[in-house]
Amino acid sequence: MDTRHIRHFMALVECGSFARACEVVHLSQPALSRSIQELERQLGARLFDRGRFGVVLTAHGRAALPHVRGLLAAAESLRQEVEAIDELETGELSIGTGPYPALALMDRVCARFVDRYPAIRLNIRTDNWQELRLALLDHEIELFVADTGELSGDPDLEITHLPQPEVVVFCRHDHPLTREEAVVWGDLLDYPLAMTRLPEDMERKVQTMSAQQGGLKRRIECDNIAMLAAIVSGSKAISIAPRPIVAGLLNSGKVKTLPVTGIETLQTRYGLLQRSGRPLSPAAVELRSMVLELANLE
């Protein structure tokens, strides 16, 4: 049902005559008559009777009046809600992030967003890139930031590549390897290697690099970065991560980086991903711009 017909109905009710109603809605009398007739056709009942002093509601018109008022109130509420969403005064935004960018980028992005738009309900999902892709395509989130290695070429995704942070190998501050002047990949394999779940191509690189030592056998896999950092700082396990992730631990002296040669191929490939060909909500557009701004400031 066209809300124009509803508004014309109310104008005629409030004015009591076609002549005065035409002035209010800025229509000619024939045009207003056609609008009322169309509404009557849709409802299957006559809504007005013409009298000597104007028009009066029929029994059907009186029955329709409270519903018409409700429809107009709902339409106005909807308009206000849409305007509030456009102006970021209300609404909800669901996004995703991989474990590493959660602590190296998205934490600062989300802090800025909620400070600037406190009325927006922000839902943040931290997960591996595989689960985030499924959540995006299932419309559970609008965008996410994660490693794009296995996602490039996916026709369902639009990828914006981000600047890549330096990747470092780190261990406990008193780890035996910190006494060595030169460390190669094979030296790391004498100790457990604590990492998040790797994309398939990076997993193949790690296994190839470890092949001469019989493969990567001592391994801890966990997508919780805080737990990985705690394991490394409290054991002889070794981990690999973007430098911003461990900056706080490095500054505290709890862990140290190892100058390992031969790990140049183990680089991050962070990107911002959204559904291809699908427009973002106003809130998502604003958060996306924050991601790009802060990623380029690093």
- The residues, any chain, with a CB within 8 Å of residue 216's CB and separated by 6 or more, are 189, 193, 206, 207, 210
What tokens were used for 15? 């004015």
Q: Are residues 176 and 234 in the same domain?
A: yes
Q: Do residues 113 and 123 touch, judged by C-beta distance below 8 A?
A: no
Cβ of 268: how many Cβ atoms within 10 Å? 22
Cα separations in angstroms, 4 against 34, 66, 77, 179 = 12, 17, 16, 80
**What's the domain range around 277?**
92-164+269-297
Q: Are residues 226 and 145 in the same domain?
A: no
Give the number of C-alpha atoms closer than 13 A to the C-alpha of residue 285, restricted to the C-beta side.
9
For the segment 89-133, what is each residue's pLDDT rounded down to a tens digit? 778 899 999 988 888 789 999 999 999 989 889 999 999 888 999
Based on the structure, what is the number of domains in the chain? 3
For the segment 57-90, what is each residue's pLDDT rounded down to a tens digit? 899 989 989 988 888 878 767 776 676 667 677 7
For the segment 4-60, what is each residue's pLDDT rounded down to a tens digit? 888 898 888 889 889 898 988 899 999 989 999 998 999 899 999 887 778 888 999
Q: Are residues 97 and 237 in the same domain?
A: no
Predicted local confidence at residue 268, as pLDDT = 75
Q: Are residues 143 and 276 in the same domain?
A: yes
For the segment 126-184, what is each residue's pLDDT rounded down to a tens digit? 998 889 999 999 999 999 999 888 788 899 999 999 988 888 889 999 999 998 888 88
What are the CB-based long-range contacts (under 8 Å, 24+) for 276-283?
A: 276/155, 276/156, 276/157, 276/158, 277/158, 280/142, 280/143, 281/85, 281/91, 281/93, 281/142, 282/85, 282/86, 282/87, 282/88, 282/91, 283/85, 283/88, 283/91, 283/92, 283/93, 283/117, 283/120
Is 298 a residue whose pLDDT tops 60? no
**Higher-scoring residue by pLDDT: 200, 234:** 234
Round the average pLDDT of the chain to a whole number and report it.
86
Predicted local confidence at residue 212, as pLDDT = 80
CATH code of residue 23: 1.10.10.10
Q: Are residues 159 and 172 in the same domain?
A: no
Q: Are residues 115 and 41 in the same domain?
A: no
Predicted local confidence at residue 80, as pLDDT = 65
